Amino acid sequence: MTQEKTPAATEVTTSAQNSAILAERNDDGKLKLVTCKDEARIDSRILAQHFGKDHHDVFELVKNYHADFEQMGVVRFQTEKPLPGSKGGRPERFALLTEDQAICC
């Protein structure tokens, strides 16, 4: 399903899909969204990459200002295990943000 909010359309994927797919932009440069409880959200890792920021810094901003972000809707924190076949690694934490929350980053 495709959702248009601005002249640059964004692609919406279901949360059941592997979130590793979400860590990249489409070939046409549009940011991918994930649908969470019938609401389009963006992965904080994609947002950080799009703005040329380190994900750790963006994630810390969301955690430090959690109460402010919650005023715009529930912040959905997620943990992803390392991809199968990778050589270990720690699970990665990230946030799924609404459009309003993403704008504040």
Question: pLDDT digits over 22-81, tens only?
Answer: 434 455 566 778 888 788 899 999 999 999 999 999 999 999 999 999 999 999 999 998
User: What are the DSSP calls for 16-73, one per residue?
Assistant: TS-TTGGGS--TTSPPEEEESSS-EEEEHHHHHHHTT--HHHHHHHHHHTHHHHHTTS
pLDDT of residue 72: 95
Q: How far apart are CA 33 and CA 39, in angstroms?
A: 10
| pTM for this entry | 0.68
* Predicted confidence (pLDDT) at residue 91 exceeds the cutoff of 80: yes
What is the residue whose two structure tokens read 């901003």? 61
